[in-house]
Amino acid sequence: MLLIRNANIIDGTGKPSYKGDIFVAGDKISAIGAFPNKKADTVIDALGLTVTPGFIDVNNDSDHHLALLTHPSQDDFLKQGITTIIGGHCGASLAPLLYGSLESIRKWANPDLINVNWHWVSEFFRVMEKRKIGVNFGTLVGHSTIRRAIIGEDQRDLTDKELNVFERIVERSLKEGALGISSGLGYAHAHLTPYAEIRALVKIVARYNGVYSTHLRDEQSGVEAAVTETTRLAEETGVRTLISHLRPLIGYESQIARAVKHLRELPDTVDLHFDLYPFGTSYLPIYTLLPEWAKRGNLEAMLSLVNSPMHRGKLREGLAPSAGFVPETLKSIVIAKSPGSDYLVGKTLGTFAASRELDVRDAMLELMTMTRMRAVLLINNINKSIAERMVFEPRALIATNSASLPHGADLEPERAIKTFTRFLELARVMPPSLFEQAVGKITAIPAKKFRLLGRGMIKQGCYADLVCLDGTNVVHTILNGQVAVTNGVVTPALAGRVLRRG
């Protein structure tokens, strides 16, 4: 049993805060009130602290980086009050794996790090439950993960028979507890996917009251058309929709503004949100800096183009079209991950180029070759001041879009460490009523969207996922009734659970 005394409670619903005690029995909130004489195994004096529901990260990459399996404590998230993460975004998920292949996550991680002993979503969930994890975890199923299992590396329309197989896999995944489906239409393997295919799959998701998440087909000059395509899909199918990381890329601010205005003007009957983080840096697989014509096939196919004297000149001139910045800024790119050449982590591309006596474009191609197309880069390509305002848009949700990795391995973006505390810092300057609404944006609203029943609110009978804040600093994090962070230090509790649809 756990008792939190003398708390200033913000319950996640947007209602005004109030003073009270919270009594936790087992994994749930047993009572809320004044309990001066109640006894418990653990007592937290929250005088001067604010207690909120645990935060929900609607777009998380710990599955893509295999960190859920290699770094189960997920301490970066617990220390910023995140108790639940949603994975399986951008068309890639850890299940279902028809042939046990993790091909779709190779852009982020080395699949050889783990032994895959599952195929279906239900089998994956059992593996996760046996291993134990530090946060609650729910997942979408990846469109590209399934599509590539069906037709391999081909980039063509599916036959009617193939689409029928795809539909049955999606339906089975939803029945086994997947929260919905995601697409990565901005990535090479899904960019040419026809609207009709996505619509057919999303109709199944809508029937099961799941969520459709999408990495837009175009995040730059064509972002308005891409957003319109997504809103059309939401309106036609009624599916609950999330646009992944809708960021104000530098040079495309006016297009983003018009896209956000379009979303703002949608009727309330359309359940559509977008997620983002209040920072100016993107964390991108190196192959995304290739020109569009070169993003074909798997990483080996792209690497063969880079190593081809016939194509190298054309590649050199076409580098960095999709990063949302002008090529002159290539020198400031920071190498965040460099498999096989870890000594490069933290260095800028300019420094790497100078050490090799190379032009910065040639240095980029050299880095692609050295890391066999598996490097990941930190790029300042987002208008930070606009992003800090966009997080308060009515249809905006907050996401790290990142992984919690073992410290010292790779260079983590700051959004992995402080997205939610930074959001609270921005919200803290608002009047109390607006701050309480901001808390709802990271608790009750995402819980409702993903149908995470019993989570996202401080209410009798709800799961005891709680955060104790001193201002905007996380002092304690409670997960399923267990203390996961105490006085800023992560405990070995590993109290997270797999969350299934419904």
Q: Calculate mean pLDDT across residues 18-34.
A: 97
Q: Calculate mean pLDDT across residues 199-228.
A: 97
Report whether pLDDT(419) > 60.
yes
Report whether pLDDT(69) > 80.
yes
Instruction: Give whole-number Cα distances, 291 to 152, 336, 361, 381, in Å.
Output: 22, 21, 13, 17
pLDDT of residue 293: 86
**Average pLDDT of the chain, as a whole number:** 93
Cβ count near 471 (within 10 Å): 12
**Interval 159-203: pLDDT, tens:** 999 999 999 999 999 999 999 999 999 887 888 999 999 999 999
* CA trace torsion 43, 46, 52, 53 (10° rounding): -10
The dihedral built from the CA positions of residue 137, 143, 145 and 146, taken in this order, carries a sign that is: positive
Strand 473-479 versus strand 482-486 pairing type: antiparallel
Q: pLDDT category, 425, cuts 50, 70, 90?
A: very high
Question: With pLDDT > 90 as the criterion, what percentage of the chain qualifies?
Answer: 78
Q: Coil, helix or strand for 385?
A: helix
Structural domains in the chain? Answer: 2-52+453-490 (2.30.40.10), 55-281+382-449 (3.20.20.140), 285-379 (no CATH)
Report whether pLDDT(282) > 70.
yes
pLDDT of residue 328: 58
For residue 195, the one-letter residue type is Y
Instruction: Give whole-number Cα distances, 197 to 159, 192, 429, in Å.
Output: 10, 11, 45
Q: pLDDT category, 8, cuts 50, 70, 90?
A: very high
Q: Calculate mean pLDDT across residues 65-91.
A: 96
**Interval 105-125: pLDDT, tens:** 877 878 887 889 999 999 999
Closest Cα partner for 77 from 55, 92, 44? Answer: 55
Report whether pLDDT(321) > 80.
no
Q: How far apart are CA 311 and CA 304, in angstroms?
A: 9
Query: pTM for this one?
Result: 0.94
Q: Calculate mean pLDDT across residues 265-279.
A: 97
For residue 358, the one-letter residue type is L
For residue 201, the one-letter residue type is L
Report whether pLDDT(323) > 60.
no
pLDDT of residue 127: 95
pLDDT of residue 126: 96
pLDDT of residue 431: 84
Give 274's strand partners. 243, 396
Q: pLDDT category, 299, cuts 50, 70, 90?
A: confident
Closest Cα partner for 243 from 327, 300, 182, 201? Answer: 182
Report whether pLDDT(295) > 90.
no
Q: Calculate mean pLDDT across residues 281-307.
A: 87
**Interval 439-483: pLDDT, tens:** 999 999 999 999 999 999 999 999 999 999 999 999 999 999 999
Strand 466-470 versus strand 50-53 pairing type: antiparallel
Q: Coil, helix or strand for 243?
A: strand
Q: How far apart are CA 478 and CA 464, in angstroms?
A: 7
Q: Calculate mean pLDDT across residues 332-348.
A: 91
Q: Locate 242 and state its tokens.
A: 């999330």
Report whether pLDDT(324) > 80.
no
Question: With pLDDT > 70 as the criterion, what percentage of the chain qualifies?
Answer: 98
Phi, psi (rounded to 5 degrees) for 42: -130, 130
152 vs 450 pLDDT, higher one? 450
**Interval 342-394: pLDDT, tens:** 899 999 999 999 999 998 889 999 999 999 999 999 999 999 999 999 999 99
For residue 71, the one-letter residue type is H
Q: How far apart are CA 418 and CA 424, in angstroms?
A: 10
Q: Calculate mean pLDDT across residues 420-426.
A: 97
pLDDT of residue 322: 54
Q: Coil, helix or strand for 218?
A: coil
Report whether pLDDT(266) > 80.
yes
Contact of 234 with 267, CB cutoff 8 Å: no
